[in-house]
A and B are shown apart, each in its own frame.
Chain A
Amino acid sequence: MVKVTIDNISIEVEDGTMILEAARKIGGKIVPPAMCYYSKLKKTGGKCRTCLVKVAESSSRDPRPMPKLVASCSTPVQDGMVVQNITSKEVLDARKAIVEFLLINHPLDCPVCDQAGECDLQDLSFLHGVMATRYEEGRREYPAIDIGSYIKLHMNRCIHCYRCVFVADQLTDQRVHGMFYRSDSMEISTYIQNVVDNDFSGNVIDACPVGALTDRTFRFKSRVWFLKPIDAHRECNKCCGKVTAWMFGNEIYRITGRKDQWGEVEEFICNECRFERKEIKDWFIEGPRKIKRQSVISANKYEKLLKPNQK
């Protein structure tokens, strides 16, 4: 076990833990936002740079600060490390800059985006963004395409986090899409259009932090904050069968994995559960799911609805 101090709060974690994971153990406001790291997928992280933090002291053996800000999702802790996140102006400034970079080529089409309300980029912009843009040049534009019968790709909205690439690498038996070209012309695409078709390919929708990959079976059906998330399960021989069903009245509008407070699914689910079981009778209903993240979906809504007498 090693001791690490993040924003003046100390915690003991296992050797080799990343700074971000240590911060998540502490919880609360000091957790750096993460747009590309996904704890359930190996090798993710390091790319978006929103999780940058300052290492004020590298370790108790070598108390020098690290020369640059480091990506907390990919930097392991050392004993006696002192990290500054929200207590460092430098970090907050850098984060603001990253948000600006992520947004300059983003279409800002939230009003017509299915991800709105549960989008990591929206949350990040609310917390760290600026109100006006300094960017006056043209934005990147791509046509929206169908990749497979279930998934829609809006490349305009992609933030190049690579999560969907790792999902396909690690959950499906063959990856048929990937990152093409480089620099700001880099894009996610399929090797031959329309071929993303695999028992677990739907998980890219949950992993995608923005509205670049969305569910075609749910397209334009409803805004997510009008739906009630309900935990449900079924016997499934391909996956765990534990899902969140998003309901309107007695109808299931869509199925997703169960997302935890960091926006990551607890367990990945298969395409059959996600796309083909939309009837109430297919599922055992467990009860309402509390969405813990600060997003418009949970804006005080369920806590008050569920426990009117407490607090």
Chain B
Amino acid sequence: MGRKILTGLVTVPGIRSFPVYRGEGGYMSVEKALCEMTPIDIIKEVTKSGLRGRGGAGFPTGLKWSFLDRKPDKPHYLVCNADESEPGTFKDRFLMENMPHLLIEGLIISSFALGANTCYIYVRGEFKYIIGLLNKAIREAYENKFLGENILGTGYSLDIFVHPGAGAYICGEETALLESLKGKRGNPRIKPPFPAYKGLYDCPTVVNNVETIATVGPIIIMGGEEYASIGKGKSTGTKLISACGNINNPGVYEIELGLPVEDFIYSQEYCGGIRDGKRLKAVVAGGSSVPVLPADLILSTPQGQKRLITFESMQEGGFDSGTMLGSGGFIVYNEDQCMVRNTWNFTRFYRHESCGQCSPCREGTGWMEKVLYRIEHGKGKVSDIDLLVSVANKIEGNTICPLGDAAAWPVASAIRHFRHEFEYHIEHPEICNRMDHGKLIEQPAASIKYR
């Protein structure tokens, strides 16, 4: 049983409401942070905890905070990135739905540490009901004097605003998010300058993921060292993983980092194994943007060790045989799933969501989607496979923001690991008309090891 730092209280009835949350010890971290600690102490504590961004990149949060341009001539802002739209990732939604006060607690402490008096939560537009929940929780916090002027008599004031997005995945990228928050078109911009120097309204700004911020409260209560003792190596603490696909128990799980992937998939505490007694074929381990891995490579690293759920272990093997922890969207495929269809589906998503600014991403995602559509619908050619690899390679690394890479990796990795499925589609166009044609693809015995 791993420790549940974020989700320990989820099962308490009525935990969404302020009185119940407070009764369970909520907002004690705010009292401790604002009354007993200085902003520098808080940043030190977060640095000590080894907390890394949970939004996808895994950048150390304490380090990010220490980069903030602290000149007092401009206001500072904290922006909470709640634009969770990555296919496969639904952990922030779970957290905001069930523990809105945990997020607000984290926001107050983080804003205090960063010297911000205004804080925005940028919520994905489709989460309409969550906006209501958050606003209710914020109102309760105002009523109980944890927000507004002179919080707890310390002289520190903070306002939190919830801003709904308009349904664009790209607005999860931090610079696009800031543009969108200003009311402009959500186009990412070139970094540097980083938001820590020039962010919202050209003022120093920190953008953090919901889960990252929600973790700050517990870190203040338990102390950075204690938090750092959980986990493995540089991947400290716990992480929410949203598991979906052909597993017995889909859902959001809090795991201690360092848990072997095998245990996560097969233990009853978590995914509970593959549904209907089928075999495991592949896993996308960190949301649609990360490379897909076949069963044998996701369960063990190329060196034959068990693959663990940590930032480092996931990357082992580089791009040839590794993947990334990403945002923790864990999609599991059984032997009946068609990897071509899956790749086409992901690419369709990226084609739709590219902001369209840079040529490789705008044109390349559309190109890949059209070719994949043809292959999946029985009109592919043998040369299409190499064409896809070449287009993916030419998008990768040549764009403004990482969406271009995120669109290229799923295609490149699917072809690397499941080339025979693409070939099978091209050689057997007759199967492609059936919705369940994933079952019909004959796998050459040597090419793939099911688990």
Interface residues of chain A, those whose CB is within 8 Å of chain B, are 46-50, 52, 68-69, 71, 74-75, 94, 97-98, 100-102, 104-105, 134-135, 137-138, 159-160, 162, 179, 181-186
Contacts and interface: CB of A to CB of B under 8 A. Distances in A.
Contacts of B189: 46
A52 B398 contact: yes
Interface of B is mostly: helix
A102 B366 contact: no
26 contacts: A46-B400, A47-B359, A47-B400, A48-B358, A49-B399, A50-B359, A68-B398, A97-B360, A98-B360, A101-B360, A101-B362, A101-B364, A138-B370, A160-B356, A160-B359, A182-B168, A182-B170, A182-B353, A182-B356, A183-B354, A183-B356, A183-B362, A183-B366, A184-B362, A184-B366, A186-B362
A184 B168 CA distance: 15
Given A47-B359, A47-B400, 18 more contacts: A48-B358, A49-B359, A50-B359, A68-B397, A68-B398, A97-B394, A98-B359, A134-B387, A159-B359, A160-B357, A162-B357, A179-B356, A181-B356, A182-B355, A182-B356, A183-B351, A183-B366, A186-B362
A102 B359 contact: yes
Top 6 A-B pairs, shortest CB-CB distance: A97-B394, A186-B356, A184-B366, A137-B370, A101-B363, A183-B354
A126 to B, nearest CB: 18
Contacts of A160: 356-357, 359, 362
Interface residues of B, number: 30
A98 B361 CA distance: 10
Nearest to B356: A186
A162 B355 CA distance: 13
Contacts of B397: 68-69
Contacts of B356: 160, 179, 181-186
B368 to A, nearest CB: 10
Contacts of B351: 183-184
A101 B394 contact: yes
Given A94-B394, A97-B394, A137-B370, A183 B355 contact: yes
Contact of A104 (B168, B355, B367): B367
B198 to A, nearest CB: 13
Contact of A183 (B353, B370, B371, B374): B353
A52 B399 CA distance: 10
Contacts of B359: 47-50, 98, 101-102, 159-160
A166 B399 CA distance: 21
Most buried by B among A75, A94, A101: A101
A179 B179 CA distance: 15
Interface in B322-378: 351-360, 362-367, 370-371, 374
A146 B366 CA distance: 28
Nearest to A187: B356
B165 to A, nearest CB: 13
Nearest to A73: B190
Given A68-B397, A94-B394, A179-B185, A47 B357 contact: yes
Interface string B226-269: 00000000000000000000000000000000000000000000
Contacts of A100: 394
Contacts of A162: 357
Contacts of A49: 358-360, 398-399
A307 B185 CA distance: 51
Contacts of B371: 137
A159 B364 CA distance: 14
B270 to A, nearest CB: 35
A44 B168 CA distance: 23
A94 B371 CA distance: 21
A52 B400 CA distance: 11
B183 to A, nearest CB: 14
A137 B381 CA distance: 13
A252 B161 CA distance: 59
Nearest to B381: A136
A254 to B, nearest CB: 29
A74 B190 CA distance: 8
Contacts of B353: 182-183
A164 to B, nearest CB: 15
A69 B367 contact: no
B203 to A, nearest CB: 18
A17 to B, nearest CB: 15
B307 to A, nearest CB: 25
B319 to A, nearest CB: 14
